[in-house]
Structure 1
Amino acid sequence: MAKSSGKKNAFYAQSGGVTAVINASACGVIETARKHKDKIGKVYAGRNGIIGALTEDLIDTSRESKSAIAALRHTPSGAFGSCRYKLKSLEQNRREYERLIEVFEAHNIGYFFYNGGGDSADTCLKVSQLSKKLGYPIQAIHVPKTVDNDLPITDNCPGFGSVAKYIAVSTREASFDVASMAKTSTKVFILEVMGRHAGWIAAAGAMASSEDCEIPVIVLFPEVTFNRRKFMQAVKAKVKQFGYVSIVVSEGVKSRDGKFLADQGLKDAFGHAQLGGVAPVVANMIREDLKLKYHWAVADYLQRAARHIASKSDVEQAYAMGKAAVELAIKGKNSVMPTVVRTSNSPYRWKVGEANLSRVANVEKMMPKSFISKDGFGITKKCRDYLGPLMKGEDYPPYGKDGLPKYVRLKNAPVKRKLGDFKV
């Protein structure tokens, strides 16, 4: 790969659904870049992801204080704004790629750091190919992030551990509530969680039950075809044994005909089915078949924004991935992604690895069969051993006198535009 000559600026952007720790990765990128001023100039952030690059809507992070950037580590959501925008191929929309090069050249950008999931990895891969196809030297490094935990090669994805912790804690606490009312009122609680094709988040709900705190939990995975009869039998058995049951259902659960139970018939910006509302669907089935009183809830944005209960492992790995991305770029790497490599379960140990983006983009990592119990409604010990370390440790944000967490809001000072307008 041809290296760029002289000191170049860097472009960083956030993409897709944000997480409780994506800003920790941003912190890792910016702080590490600042330590290598001899090789990297300024770090420009794209306002609203890749759209910021296309429209030349850049943010000058050098205008932010050291303390403000450090505070990103404990601030949830996307500090620079995110987007759901997937670049078409060079052949389909050459003008977009030409525009990227125009913006990169105008602002002397030679490093591209894109923080996101599978679709973001695809965007990063396409940008990395600019050097060869359009003759502009750009080093593109993908920074892994996704609550769905479905990126391949890496042991886990930053953002997932905190969601897993939130869902496990929420399921346990709600279950205590239901148990209190089960004698005369609610007997079923249903929690809907994210996960289109992979049931990693739903699996975390089963962690609410442990040897020292047994709780009746049924999990509905996207990887297991929904069988209404078997499901009702499981619900009935749990209620008979414990007096109540908690159900954690993934938004991506499908019926025998291959359709999502929660398919609204709408599509998102990436062309995926717009899901949501599977909890009331399941609740209505229980009402019709078993006549049991229920309550349901949708974790939705709460699960991915809950920085107040983030996993310490997750925060550390998110920062490490941002830091490693810069270090890979400095070494001259292109079209790669830093990864988490687990070296030990007990005690939990991990190190930073590296994966080629051609092996990451557009590939989803599903729950292994060995992680799902034989009845299809729970998790195995192997899964518990995997999930446990990712949820451990607390990394609380600072709290103010009002009892609320103190999160940073950056200045997000714009970089002066040098080019004409561009519509996306």
Structure 2
Amino acid sequence: MSGTLLYAQSGGVTAVINATASAVITEARARKVKVLAARNGILGALREELIDTSKESAAAIRALAHTPGGAFGSCRVKLKSLEADRAKYERLLAVFKAHDVRWFLYNGGNDSADTALKVSKLAAEFDYPLTCIGVPKTVDNDLAVTDCCPGFGSAAKYTAVSVRECALDVAAMAETSTKVFVYEAMGRHAGWLAAAGGLAGKTVDDAPHLILFPERPYDEADFIAQVKKIVARVGYCVVVASEGIRTADGKFVADAGGGKDSFGHTQLGGVASFLAGRVKDQLGMKVHWTLPDYLQRSARHLASKTDLDQALAVGKAAVQYALKGMNATMPVIKRTSDSPYRWKIEPAALEKVANHEKTMPANFIRKDGYGITASARKYLEPLIRGESPPPYGRDGIPNYVALKNVAVKQKLSVWRG
């Protein structure tokens, strides 16, 4: 089959995004299709910094499936509209033409789906035969249409396990030391990861005792009252707080004041330390807090087998859809059964995914706003099931792979954008 497939990674990486890359390359090789990878996402495509994956051994590509991070580099770069960023889109098309790229697979979230959609429209305008596929990935689980997002299940498993283990520590020390522990979970507008913390316990007296969702306004007086009541009843209190919680007036509780990134996002981080300080000041209790940050999305050693299987499946399907000419499409996960848990991959139009955001359904949040419901547990629990640990070396460290990432020869003038 003539033509080249270009694969790129976008946004924050996950514990299993490289598994998707592995599946893409493996499936393309089986079909005798050459795969190039953009170095650092869309930036690499613009700069014509393209990696020849054929230089990697089959063993190295297989090892990607158990290696976290982004093997080819990712980036947080959002292209504007076709009109506003016309020169960049035309540069992308020039690079595609120079390297006979006929299939473009962009592995990312909402904004990446939007970029893939725009590139497909520009190619159509110039009558260039290009099939664009968005490949789902995000730990926030906020992509529309798909039942869940590859990357989320593993981050959710890490969250649930970490909260459970930390809670056992706090319970052991509560009599004479720590009374309150605050765990900060990723999630700007959607509380999926915070909700996953709820899987650590099964009753109201099990940790986490309080979950703060971005879908509910943060009421400090009520929160402090809840903490006091739980400590009196249980002896200690474990809180899971989403980084994106806001006050009733819409202000982020943890606005870091660091400006905005290219996506227009305010840098968040520090909600746990803020809450810990408020509890200590108001109640005089000893408080510990944690900000796991990147640990949530890079913990491949604790990956969910379900998540890994889904990450591999969307990669394989993306190549199949591309070679069938299913332009402006994304392979998404459809749940067919809760018990037993069953799922399949099906195509969805990028227009239905791009720039849409899926937040927690109201019936997933407990009526008091501080916990998950049985419906949420039924949805979340299957996503963290199963283990698929990486192979370990004699030194006790996982055997992760580092690719050669050999660049192809550039054919165009240097991009000065």
Question: Of 329, 338, 362, which aligns to 1:345?
Answer: 338
Cα distance between partner residues in 1 of 2:273 and 2:387: 33
Residue equivalent to 2:255: 263
**Which segments of 5 or more consecutive residues in structure 1 lack a partner in the other structure?**
1-5
Answer yes or no: is the 8 Å Cα contact 1:130–1:137 preserved in 2. no
Deviation at 1:215?
A: 2.8
Secondary structure of 1:274's counterpart equals strand
Residue equivalent to 1:3: none
Secondary structure of 2:268's counterpart equals coil
Deviation at 1:7?
A: 1.1
Answer yes or no: is the 8 Å Cα contact 2:243–2:268 preserved in 1. yes
Cα distance between partner residues in 1 of 2:223 and 2:344: 40
Secondary structure of 1:264's counterpart equals strand
Cα distance between partner residues in 2 of 1:214 and 1:222: 22
Deviation at 1:93?
A: 2.0
Deviation at 1:120?
A: 0.9
Percent identity over paired residues: 59
1:288-367 aligned at under 5 Å gives the runs 288-367=281-360
Answer yes or no: is the 8 Å Cα contact 1:216–1:238 preserved in 2. no
Residue equivalent to 2:17: 22
Secondary structure of 2:238's counterpart equals strand
1:263-311 C-alpha deviation (Å, 9 max, x unpaired): 1231112111111111111111111211111001101000000000000
1:36-57 C-alpha deviation (Å, 9 max, x unpaired): 11xx3x1000000001110000
Query: Using a 3 Å threshold, how does the CA distance of structure 1 residues 397 and 240 change in structure 2: closer, same or farther?
Result: same
1:213-262 C-alpha deviation (Å, 9 max, x unpaired): 93352100000000112111211111111111111111100001110001
Residue equivalent to 1:31: 26
1:34-113 aligned at under 5 Å gives the runs 34-37=29-32, 40=33, 42-113=34-105
Question: Of 4, 7, 21, which aligns to 1:12?
Answer: 7
Deviation at 1:91?
A: 1.0
1:329-382 C-alpha deviation (Å, 9 max, x unpaired): 111100010000001111110001111001111100000000000000000000
Answer yes or no: is the 8 Å Cα contact 1:218–1:377 preserved in 2. yes
For 1:33, give the aligned amino acid. A
Query: Using a 3 Å threshold, how does the CA distance of structure 1 residues 280 and 167 change in structure 2: closer, same or farther?
Result: same
Cα distance between partner residues in 2 of 1:90 and 1:330: 25
For 2:107, give the aligned amino acid. N
TM-score by length of 2: 0.98
Residue equivalent to 1:172: 164
Answer yes or no: is the 8 Å Cα contact 1:311–1:392 preserved in 2. yes
Answer yes or no: is the 8 Å Cα contact 1:12–1:43 preserved in 2. yes
Secondary structure of 2:134's counterpart equals strand
Secondary structure of 1:334's counterpart equals coil
Query: Using a 3 Å threshold, how does the CA distance of structure 1 residues 216 and 52 change in structure 2: closer, same or farther?
Result: closer
**Which segments of 5 or more consecutive residues in structure 2 lack a partner in the other structure?**
none
Cα distance between partner residues in 1 of 2:338 and 2:205: 22
Secondary structure of 2:37's counterpart equals strand
Cα distance between partner residues in 2 of 1:248 and 1:420: 51
| Residue 198 (structure 2) pairs with residue 203 (structure 1) | no
Residue equivalent to 1:254: 246
Deviation at 1:211?
A: 5.6
For 2:304, give the aligned amino acid. S
Secondary structure of 2:255's counterpart equals coil
Secondary structure of 1:407's counterpart equals coil
1:99-150 C-alpha deviation (Å, 9 max, x unpaired): 1111111101000000001111111111111222222221000000000000
For 2:86, give the aligned amino acid. R
For 2:235, give the aligned amino acid. G
Answer yes or no: is the 8 Å Cα contact 2:200–2:208 preserved in 1. no
For 2:54, give the aligned amino acid. S
Cα distance between partner residues in 1 of 2:303 and 2:278: 34
More deviation in 119-128 or 44-53? 119-128
Residue equivalent to 1:144: 136
Secondary structure of 2:132's counterpart equals strand
